[in-house]
Amino acid sequence: MYNLVFYIYEFGIFIASFFSDKVRKMWKGERAAFSYLKERVDKDADYAWFHAASLGEFEQGRPIMEEFRRIYPEKKILLTFFSPSGYEVRKNYEGADLICYLPIDTPTNAIRFLRIIRPSVAFFIKYEFWYNYLHILRHRNVPAYSVSSIFRPNQIFFKWYGWQYRHVLNCFTHFYVQNEESKRLLHTVGIDNVDITGDTRFDRVMQIASKSKTIAAVETFKDNKPLFVAGSSWLPDEKIFIPYLGKHPDWKVVIAPHVIDEEHITQIMQLLEGRKVLRYSELKDIDDQTLRSAEVLIIDCFGLLSSIYKYGDVAYVGGGFGVSIHNLPEAAVWNIPVIFGPNNHKFKEAQELKACGGGIEICCENSFKEVMDNFINNPDELRKAADAAGEYVRTHSGATEKLLLLVRQSK
């Protein structure tokens, strides 16, 4: 049944590729993967294979790859992606020797792929459970590790009808999970080769913070005033925080939207009508006095957000009014409280930030107003929340070192 579904899925991707640029990139990338690997694989090399579904999983696995490279410099690294949002952004990542799409998980593709690579170890990051690839790895006695994984009761493995797909869990040599709940759930289905090592994303945000850029334009724009940084925001987020901050011109605002196409930027500009707004892409022709007098700075490019957070006094992370909240630790690492929308229940870091006081959930304009009024009128409350956010990230770092130590001990 699983293979039939994937053959149908593969045909569906082919059809969808005619209508979607993103799907077309994935279809072409998967088709090109075999020729790419045949041309570039070093047949005498020992490969470690890391698989990430998308960009978020890549960032989660990146500290593991880089530490693995340091410990085993003699090995080469193959990095594969499933989604274009990961591959297209990180296809030139220098930490891997080979980077390509992972062909769809059919028996033929899996056999062909693994015959070319012949990895000596495989790491699947967070949610990756490819039935055919994993069964062939087990058949060949290749260690396969599930890293930074997290499990929930609503996953198919823990349903009465998921007994067949549950067999894929037996293919892993070991699970390195994020929390106690994941370990408990795996135990209920007879999986006990599990250790709790935490979430390697915290190591990544600590790493990013240590290498952050100085952004002179943002420093000048801030002009020693309180700064509100909205990261990865969507229109429903912007409709909440922009009206409130318009009534507080003493606060500077940086907006780094998740989507930076002209349609979305125009929507933001309409919400900001009457305010002094600048776009980052236009700053080369702007003098410092004009930059200081601006009230809002829109970041209409990628790659700056993680460094911009350090200038903030309060952060808002978008996505919580959609289906997927964005990277909360990336903001919290800078000792600033993080505000986010209500659709966050699947995200452990959101729940834990709320519990420690470093993260605050809002559901509407009124609740956002209550939070910001409290911070503005009670500086001690703002400082307390900021310290809690930073401490949360620091105390949850170290998963990479712990994980790889256990991997080495298991050999």
- How many residues make up the chain in this entry? 411
Q: For residue 30, what pLDDT is reported? A: 64
CB distance 230 to 254 below 8 Å? yes
CB distance 227 to 251 below 8 Å? yes
Angle at 201 between CA 195 and CA 207, to 5 degrees: 120
**What would the pLDDT profile of 92-138 be if each residue is shown by its tens digit?**
999 999 999 998 888 989 999 999 999 999 999 988 888 899 999 99
In order of 71, 181, 308, 346, the CA distances from 357 in angstroms are: 37, 22, 22, 18
The CA distance from 126 to 146, in Å, is 7
pLDDT at 36 over 50: yes
Q: Highest mean pLDDT: which of 41-45, 280-284, 366-370? A: 366-370
Which one-letter DSSP state was computed for residue 71?
H
7 pLDDT band, cuts 50/70/90, is: very low
Bridge partners, residue 78, by sequence: 49, 98
Q: For residue 204, what pLDDT is reported? A: 92
Q: For residue 162, what pLDDT is reported? A: 85
The CA distance from 148 to 132, in Å, is 21
The CA distance from 101 to 81, in Å, is 5
- Please tell me the least confidently modeled range out of 14-23, 125-134, 226-235: 14-23
The CA distance from 390 to 211, in Å, is 17
